[in-house]
């Protein structure tokens, strides 16, 4: 016999047993009502307060993180702006050195050119000698008509000849002078052109300097904005950081693709060097060796970029003195070239091994190996790729630096957002706990509503009796209403 | 930020260096395979040997440097080193391993052309020889392939009631042909296969039958 049957057999009629049990449970629940309400209310308040406390703590942590993020971002922005300014100053210094270092020479050239031009000008101002005045006299004599005198005619003939000769000589000299003058003037033309070109170059240099100065002004503005830690600067830096994160992430993904191809090029031939049967953990030693070579190439590439001051991942390299840095660069470049050479040789070996394997496979399949294609293009292609890929991987340093720098900001933003979400859910859980407690209390009351209804009826009857007794004991007065007050309060208390 | 970068990269480098070493310390399991193929040369099964060539070629194409392959003959008394037709542990270097595979293939060709029919079929002896050989070589996973109809016929005086120690072994019966008696009563065939399954599993090994030689890739599916 199970418990239910026993419970139903307290009277011969099961329905009556159910009713009795129901009444007993109702009575028990009515008696336990106030402690239940208190317990549930306390539990609800406990949950709400605990959650609110936790949420407040999380919000505080989020604010601290936000402040820290802001500080880090502004510091990074400041560094960035400083770097930009430094580079621009470097460039302007180089431009000034390049263009204005030769300024004295340029000035001397210009002066020399001007002197030359002046001399030429002076030379060209000398007017050619005009024809002599006596020519007019002789010309007048020559125009005298011969009157038949033979002697006069001869004389005049002589004069005419002399005059013609003199005229020719004078004209030749005049032409020569004019030609000389023209020669001087035409010699001046290239000098003028040269001067024009020099002045144009000067103008270009000056306008380039102007442009750089404007850019420096712009960077200076940004720098000052960042230094003032304004909201605009923060927003700009934040958005720029997010863009950097996604772009560098994308480029890194492409680089990972390149590294995978590189790995596939050298993994098989590495088994020829380190053996194809040994394992490091669950991975083939040859695979690990190939991976290590690629990692070494990437590391060497990082050092190379670092020594060129393109990236600043290792400040110690950037802060080396120039000679040592230059040596470091050449060492890194040498190592990278050696690694690229090794990889190229491995790519060649891979091609040979793959061809041998294919030949064996064909033999095993009963196909003559002679039918295999023997083009050298794939071999050369693999070798070139094996040589170039390490150098291409060198450039990974640039997106890597951006990624590392921007991921700090992005992670900070994500962490702040997560904390905010956690705080929201904590508050929500607190409120849910509190109102769930109230709901449970109301549900409890709903379950025992017959007892509560009965209590209400009894209380109302009792308060009516009390009121009547009070009326009988005291004469009616203006303050009658006060007599009902405790009953009403009591009723309220019960209802609660 | 600069200090942060430095620390991060120090960590990455440390992980890169320590990571393989950790694996090397934690896992010393051998990854090589050891395969011992038993070829039935008894009268009824001799004609099937040509198919074995395709099987051996498949194994040569599949096995990697460091793996071991041996081919043993099932004849009247198979529990003998003399019954090992060819054996090789492939070199670590793929190019050398390829040459070894070519030489192995030639040996097998010669054997298939010149092998004589045996009067009896001592499968148990061959199995014991295979267990002994593979235990001696000690590969990471051990496979015994039985290319036979599984009909054992022992000559008079040969005792083969030795329990097999097959723990860690995968026994694969290949091309288990049906005999005339099996066609008449398939229960014979089923009983024969079941008997070998029980023997193998009792010894601690796993049992599998592959009759379709186009499905040889199932041999190494553990």
pLDDT in tens, A176-219: 888 887 887 787 788 788 888 888 888 888 888 888 888 888 88
Phi, psi torsion values for B44, nearest 5 degrees: -70, -25
A132-141, A383-392, A423-432: range with lowest mean pLDDT: A132-141
Same domain, A259 and A385: yes
HSE (side-chain half, CA atoms, 13 Å) at A104: 2
Mean pLDDT of A46-50: 94
Asked if pLDDT for residue B163 goes beyond 90, the answer is no
Same domain, A162 and A277: no
How far is Cα B189 from Cα B176, in angstroms, rounded to an integer? 9
Q: Which of B16, B24, B32 sits opposite A281 (nearest CB)?
A: B24
| pLDDT band of A43, cuts 50, 70, 90 | very high
Indicate the residue among A395, A424, A458 that finishes a domain.
A395
Average pLDDT, chain B: 84
Indicate the residue among A206, A227, A248 that finishes a domain.
A227
Neighbours of B94 (CB within 10 A): 22
Q: Could B66 and A277 be called an inter-chain contact, meaning their C-beta atoms sit closer than 8 Å?
A: yes
How far is Cα A399 from Cα A402, in angstroms, rounded to an integer? 5
The per-residue pLDDT for B158 is 86
The per-residue pLDDT for A422 is 95
Q: Which of B26, B58, B97 sits opposite A281 (nearest CB)?
A: B26
Asked if pLDDT for residue B8 goes beyond 60, the answer is no
**A300: nearest Cα among A398, A397, A404, A399:** A397
The per-residue pLDDT for A237 is 82
DSSP string of A161-228, one letter each residue:
HHHHHHHHHHHHHHHHHHHHHHHHHHHHHHHHHHHHHHHHHHHHHHHHHHHHHHHHHHHHHHHHHHHT
Q: Cβ contacts (< 8 Å) between B92 and chain A: which residues? A: 271, 275-278
- Percent of chain A past pLDDT 70, that is, above it, reads 89
How far is Cα B175 from Cα B151, in angstroms, rounded to an integer? 12
A51/chain B closest Cα distance in angstroms: 35
Average pLDDT, chain A: 84
How far is Cα A328 from Cα A333, in angstroms, rounded to an integer? 8
**B151: nearest Cα among B192, B108, B116, B197:** B192
Same domain, A165 and A292: no
| pLDDT band of B51, cuts 50, 70, 90 | confident
Mean pLDDT of A238-247: 88
| pLDDT band of A431, cuts 50, 70, 90 | very high
The per-residue pLDDT for A399 is 93
| Residue A315, domain member (yes or no) | yes
HSE (side-chain half, CA atoms, 13 Å) at A330: 5
The end-to-end CA distance of chain B, in Å, is: 52
Asked if pLDDT for residue B28 goes beyond 70, the answer is no
Q: Could B61 and A72 be called an inter-chain contact, meaning their C-beta atoms sit closer than 8 Å?
A: no
DSSP string of A284-343, one letter each residue:
EHHHHHHHHHHHHHHHHHHHHHHHTTS--S-HHHHTS-HHHHHHHHHHHHHHHHHHHHHH
Asked if pLDDT for residue A403 goes beyond 80, the answer is yes
The per-residue pLDDT for A8 is 78
ipTM, 2 decimals? 0.74
Q: Cβ contacts (< 8 Å) between B90 and chain A: which residues? A: 277
Q: Return the DSSP state at B140.
A: S
Q: Between these two residues, A165 and A462, which has the higher pLDDT value?
A: A462
Task: Tell me the residues of A at the B interface, defined by beta carbons under 8 Å apart.
Answer: 72, 75-76, 79, 268, 271-272, 275-283, 288, 292, 295, 299, 312-315, 352-353, 356-357, 360-361, 363-365, 401, 404-405, 408
Same domain, A211 and A316: no
Asked if pLDDT for residue B1 goes beyond 60, the answer is no
The per-residue pLDDT for A257 is 92
Where do we find the tokens 């101002």?
A125
**B194: nearest Cα among B184, B183, B207:** B207
The per-residue pLDDT for B115 is 81
The per-residue pLDDT for A491 is 41
Q: Could A360 and B16 be called an inter-chain contact, meaning their C-beta atoms sit closer than 8 Å?
A: no
The per-residue pLDDT for B10 is 54
The per-residue pLDDT for A240 is 84
Indicate the residue among A395, A416, A435 that finishes a domain.
A395
- Domain extent, residue B203, equals 33-220
Helix, strand, coil percentages, rounded to 5, for chain A: 85, 0, 10
The per-residue pLDDT for B16 is 58
The per-residue pLDDT for A490 is 40
Asked if pLDDT for residue A339 goes beyond 90, the answer is yes
Same domain, A265 and A390: yes
Q: Which of B1, B4, B61 sits opposite A364 (nearest CB)?
A: B61
What tokens were used for A495?
Answer: 């209802």
A269-278, A437-446, B19-28: range with lowest mean pLDDT: B19-28
Edge-to-edge order in the sheet of strand B68-74? B84-89, B68-74, B33-40, B141-147, B169-174, B206-210
Q: Cβ contacts (< 8 Å) between B62 and chain A: which residues? A: none
Same domain, A263 and A390: yes
The per-residue pLDDT for A146 is 63
pTM of the model: 0.63
The per-residue pLDDT for B170 is 94
A344 contacts A383 by C-beta, under 8 angstroms: yes
Q: Does B57 touch chain A (CB under 8 A)?
A: yes
Q: Could A272 and B94 be called an inter-chain contact, meaning their C-beta atoms sit closer than 8 Å?
A: yes
Asked if pLDDT for residue B156 goes beyond 90, the answer is no
How far is Cα B65 from Cα B71, in angstroms, rounded to an integer? 17
The per-residue pLDDT for A128 is 59
B104 contacts B112 by C-beta, under 8 angstroms: no
In terms of average pLDDT, the best of A258-262, A273-277, A433-437, A475-479 is A433-437
Q: Between these two residues, B148 and B9, which has the higher pLDDT value?
A: B148
Q: Between these two residues, A484 and B14, which has the higher pLDDT value?
A: B14
Q: Could A272 and B31 be called an inter-chain contact, meaning their C-beta atoms sit closer than 8 Å?
A: no
| Residue A480, domain member (yes or no) | no
- What's the structural domain count of chain B? 1
> Which residues have C-beta within 8 Å of that of residue A340, sequence separation ≥ 6?
A297, A386, A387, A388, A389, A390, A391
Q: Does B213 touch chain A (CB under 8 A)?
A: no
Asked if pLDDT for residue B194 goes beyond 90, the answer is yes
Q: Kindly tell me the sign of the dihedral angle through the C-alpha atoms of A321, A327, A328, A333.
A: positive
Q: Does B92 touch chain A (CB under 8 A)?
A: yes
Q: Cβ contacts (< 8 Å) between A277 and chain B: which residues? A: 31-32, 64-67, 90, 92
In terms of average pLDDT, the best of A232-236, A337-341, B78-82 is A337-341
| Residue B17, domain member (yes or no) | no
Chain A, chain B: beta-carbon pairs less than 8 Å apart:
94
- What's the structural domain count of chain A? 2
The per-residue pLDDT for B97 is 92
Which neighbouring-strand residues pair with B33?
A: B141
Same domain, A274 and A214: no
A240 contacts A402 by C-beta, under 8 angstroms: no
| pLDDT band of B9, cuts 50, 70, 90 | low
The per-residue pLDDT for A157 is 78
Q: Between these two residues, A478 and A427, which has the higher pLDDT value?
A: A427
Same domain, A158 and A270: no
**A298: nearest Cα among A336, A264, A327, A270:** A336
- Domain extent, residue A326, equals 238-395
Asked if pLDDT for residue A336 goes beyond 90, the answer is yes
How far is Cα A118 from Cα A125, in angstroms, rounded to an integer? 10
Same domain, A122 and A200: yes
Mapped onto helix, strand or coil, the DSSP state of residue A112 is: helix
| Residue B27, domain member (yes or no) | no
């Amino acid at each position: 016999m199970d418990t239910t049957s026993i419970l139903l057999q307290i009277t011969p009629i099961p329905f009556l047993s159910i009713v009795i049990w129901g009444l007993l449970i109702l009575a028990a629940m009515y008696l336990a009502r106030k402690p239940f309400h208190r317990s549930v209310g306390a539990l609800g308040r406990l949950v709400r307060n605990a959650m609110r406390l936790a949420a407040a703590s999380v919000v505080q942590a989020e604010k601290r993180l936000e402040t820290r993020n802001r500080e880090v971002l502004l510091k990074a922005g400041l560094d960035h702006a400083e770097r930009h300014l430094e580079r621009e100053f470097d460039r302007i210094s180089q431009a000034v050195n390049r263009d204005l270092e030769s300024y004295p020479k340029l000035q001397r050239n210009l002066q020399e050119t001007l002197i030359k031009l002046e001399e030429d000008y002076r030379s060209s101002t000398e007017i050619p000698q005009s024809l002599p005045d006596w020519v007019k006299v002789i010309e007048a004599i020559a125009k005298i008509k011969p009157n038949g005198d033979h002697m006069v005619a001869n004389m005049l003939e002589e004069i005419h000849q002399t005059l013609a000769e003199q005229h020719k000589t004078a004209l030749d000299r005049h032409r020569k002078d004019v030609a000389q003058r023209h020669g001087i003037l035409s010699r001046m033309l290239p000098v003028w052109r040269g001067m024009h070109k020099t002045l144009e170059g000067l103008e270009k240099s000056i306008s380039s300097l102007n442009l750089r100065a404007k850019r420096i002004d712009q960077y200076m503005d940004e720098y000052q904005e960042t230094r003032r830690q304004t909201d605009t600067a923060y927003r700009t830096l934040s958005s720029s950081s997010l863009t950097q994160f996604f772009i560098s992430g994308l480029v890194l993904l492409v680089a990972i693709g390149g590294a995978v191809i590189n790995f596939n090029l050298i993994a098989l031939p590495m088994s020829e060097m380190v053996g194809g049967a040994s394992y490091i953990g669950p991975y083939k030693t040859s695979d690990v060796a190939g991976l290590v070579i690629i990692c070494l190439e990437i590391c060497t590439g990082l050092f190379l970029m670092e020594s060129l001051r393109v990236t600043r991942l290792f400040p110690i390299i950037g802060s080396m003195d120039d000679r040592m840095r230059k040596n470091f660069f050449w060492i890194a470049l040498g190592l990278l070239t050696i690694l690229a050479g090794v990889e190229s040789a491995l790519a060649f070996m891979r091609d040979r091994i793959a061809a041998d394997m294919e030949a064996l496979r064909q033999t095993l399949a009963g196909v003559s190996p002679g039918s295999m294609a023997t083009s050298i293009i794939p071999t050369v292609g693999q070798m070139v790729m094996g040589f170039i890929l390490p150098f291409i991987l060198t450039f990974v340093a640039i997106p890597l630096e951006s990624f590392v720098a921007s991921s700090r900001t992005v992670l900070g933003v994500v962490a702040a957002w997560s904390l905010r979400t956690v705080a929201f859910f904590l508050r929500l859980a607190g409120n849910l706990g509190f109102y769930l407690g109230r709901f449970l209390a109301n549900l409890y009351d709903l379950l025992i509503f017959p007892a509560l209804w009965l209590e209400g009826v009894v209380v109302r009857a009792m308060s009516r009796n009390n009121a009547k007794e009070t009326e009988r004991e005291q004469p009616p007065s203006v303050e009658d209403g006060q007599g009902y007050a405790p009953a009403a309060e009591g009723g309220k208390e019960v209802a609660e | 930020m600069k200090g942060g970068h430095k620390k991060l990269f120090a960590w990455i480098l440390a992980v890169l260096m320590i990571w393989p070493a950790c694996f090397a310390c934690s896992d010393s399991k051998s990854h090589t395979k050891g395969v011992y193929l038993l070829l039935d040369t008894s009268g009824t099964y001799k004609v099937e040997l040509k198919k074995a060539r395709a099987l051996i070629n498949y194994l040569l194409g599949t096995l990697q440097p460091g793996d071991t392959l041996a081919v043993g003959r099932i004849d009247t008394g198979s529990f003998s080193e003399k019954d090992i037709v060819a054996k090789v542990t492939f070199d670590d270097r793929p190019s050398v391993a390829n040459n070894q595979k070519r030489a192995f293939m030639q040996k097998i060709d010669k054997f298939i052309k010149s092998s004589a029919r045996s009067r009896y079929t001592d499968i148990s002896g061959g199995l014991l020889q295979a267990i002994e050989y593979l235990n001696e070589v000690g590969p990471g996973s051990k496979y015994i392939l039985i290319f036979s109809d599984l009909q054992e016929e022992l000559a008079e005086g040969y005792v083969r009631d030795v329990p097999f120690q097959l723990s860690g072994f995968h026994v694969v019966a290949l091309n288990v042909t049906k005999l005339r008696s099996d066609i008449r009563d398939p229960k014979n065939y089923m009983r024969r296969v079941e008997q070998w399954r029980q023997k193998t599993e009792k010894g601690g090994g796993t049992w599998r039958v592959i009759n379709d030689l186009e499905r040889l890739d199932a041999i190494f599916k553990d």
